[in-house]
Amino acid sequence: MDAKTVQVTIDKAVPRWDIFCAVVDNFGDIGVCWRLARQLAAEYNLSVRLWVDQLAPFRALCPTLQECDQQWLEGVDVRHWQGENCTPETSDGAADVVVEGFACNLPAAYIEAMAAREEAPIWFNLEYLTAEPWADEYHSLPSIDAQTGLRKVLFVPGFSAHTGGILRERDVIERRDQWQSHSTYRSLFLKQLNVQCDHHTRLVSLFSYENSALPELLRAMEQFSQKHCVLVPMGRVVASIESYLGESLPLGQAITRGALTVQAIPFLAQAEYDHLLWSCDFNIVRGEDSLVRALWAGKPLLWHIYPQEGEHLIKLQAFLTRYTEGLTPEQAAAVTALWMAWNTQASMVEPWQQALAELPTLSRQARSWALLQSGKTDLAAKMVQFCTKLV
Ligand code: TRH
């Protein structure tokens, strides 16, 4: 059925949520907002509208999205947010709960509609994820909107019990375990992508920003005793790989240099990207949302944090401190050296070799870290609980 023609009756008794997402750059803003919207609709039966200002980045991770103003996708009412088109004249009033994704600034008229409600809505400002200690202190702090007197709550995702938690669907660990315990899922998935590698080859996924440490990492793999196959979803890093290889890397084609094979694969739909992370032996991820997905995959990983003037290394170290807690000092130092080298664009050969020597331990640790985190309350649940407590 055409997404535009689907009719859904709105139950007025079901709390209505409006999530606003302005895409700054890349895929993380919409990646997080879309995941949250889907989870609230699927697991809590909430009436969720997702307002997004750019459809093209959204379509990259959700290929069924159409170029139109309104459509229903996976139980979510998806709207193309253009200026003031989210104000009550053209929709049906401000929602009970409003999520302002990453301080995206709601239109003044929508805020007025919020203020005009008989019962003030719950207004969240959803922040970026951080492992820094300040998140404990700032999470759930209210501020008062000067124009309307409405309360806005800062919702800070994080890893400790006092933060807003991280996104996790109820069944993600179960689905991952099923996938990883039946090798046919992996074989079929790789076959669909036309990836041909034997069982002795280490499979690596690579999703990263431009990084001048990349050629050294590729060289380390090329010269290593074990074969590596690096799968690269099409994106901004492909040009650097092509310049390393000295030839173009067309979609689907595998190019081999020594022990290294590199293959560009399509940019996958979000669920398929999970399958890639679950299938690889090592995942290189970036930003915020792919980090969280790689954590749930329970495989060793390397994180290229989103670069921000001077601040990102503090954020990176804060995460590393938590992530390496269960390791010996030597193992923690190996992980830290690798991640720091990658994020400061320093020499990768030695850190990569040292991390590989610890790979069996790092694989076990990645799995137990995911398990430990999955015992904590997830972000969507924390938002819903926050609202329930206020009612
Ligand atoms: O795209 P990003 O670099 O987004 C960034 C970060 O979120 C950063 O923290 C933020 O400040 C900035 O945007 C504005 O990385 P991220 O967060 O991992 O988002 C990528 C999304 O794309 C994620 O939802 C996973 C998804 N994805 C796919 O669906 N398919 C793919 O093939 C790949 C590689 C990613």
For ligand 1, atom 18, which residue shows the shortest CA distance?
A: 290
Known catalytic membership, residue 198: no
- The closest-lying atom of ligand 1 relative to the alpha carbon of residue 24 is 14
* Total number of residues shown for the chain: 391
- The closest-lying atom of ligand 1 relative to the alpha carbon of residue 308 is 11
DSSP state of 251: T
Residue 204 shares a structural domain with residue 275: yes
Q: What tens digit of pLDDT does each residue of 221-244 get?
A: 999 989 999 999 999 999 999 999
Report if residue 6 sits inside a domain: no
Q: Is 289 in the pocket of ligand 1 (CB under 6 A)?
A: yes
Report if residue 4 sits inside a domain: no
Residue 281 shares a structural domain with residue 310: yes
**Catalytic residue, candidates 96, 132, 288, 358:** 288
Residue 331 shares a structural domain with residue 251: yes
The C-alpha atoms of residue 261 and residue 252 are separated, in whole angstroms, by 12
pTM equals 0.95
Residue 256 shares a structural domain with residue 222: yes
Instruction: Enumerate the β-bridge partners of residue 303.
Output: 285
The C-alpha atoms of residue 35 and residue 376 are separated, in whole angstroms, by 18
Which one is predicted more confidently, 5 or 303?
303
Residue 342 shares a structural domain with residue 210: yes
Report if residue 184 sits inside a domain: yes
Pocket test for ligand 1, best of 26, 231, 275 (most atoms within 8 A of CB): 26
Known catalytic membership, residue 216: no
| Residue 11 CA, ligand 1 centroid: distance in Å | 33
Residue 150 shares a structural domain with residue 232: no
Kind of pairing between the strands at 97-101 and 16-21 = parallel
CATH number at residue 246: 3.40.50.2000
Q: Is 101 in the pocket of ligand 1 (CB under 6 A)?
A: no
Report if residue 386 sits inside a domain: yes
- Asked whether residue 8 carries a pLDDT value surpassing 90, the answer given is no
Residues of the domain holding 70: 14-165+377-390
| Residue 287 CA, ligand 1 centroid: distance in Å | 6
| Strand-by-strand arrangement of the 228-233 sheet | 254-257, 260-265, 228-233, 202-206, 282-286, 301-304
Residue 183 shares a structural domain with residue 218: yes
Residue 353 shares a structural domain with residue 385: no
Q: Is 128 in the pocket of ligand 1 (CB under 6 A)?
A: yes
- Residue 47 has φ and ψ, to the nearest 5°, of -90, 105
Residue 344 shares a structural domain with residue 384: no
Q: What is the pLDDT of residue 199?
A: 87
Residue 234 shares a structural domain with residue 273: yes
**Catalytic residue, candidates 29, 216, 272, 358:** 29
pLDDT band at 93 (very low <50, low <70, confident <90, very high): confident
Max Cα–Cα distance, the chain, nearest Å: 69
CATH number at residue 47: 3.40.50
Residue 237 shares a structural domain with residue 116: no
Q: What is the pLDDT of residue 189?
A: 98
Q: What is the pLDDT of residue 389?
A: 79
Pocket test for ligand 1, best of 65, 289, 295 (most atoms within 8 A of CB): 289
Report if residue 7 sits inside a domain: no
Give the up-direction half-sphere exposure of residue 98: CA atoms within 13 A in the CB hemisphere: 26
To which residue do tokens 């969720």 refer?
48
Q: What tens digit of pLDDT does each residue of 308-326 get?
A: 887 899 999 999 999 999 9
Count of structural domains, the chain: 2
Q: What is the pLDDT of residue 91?
A: 56
Residue 355 shares a structural domain with residue 277: yes
Pocket test for ligand 1, best of 288, 295, 303 (most atoms within 8 A of CB): 288
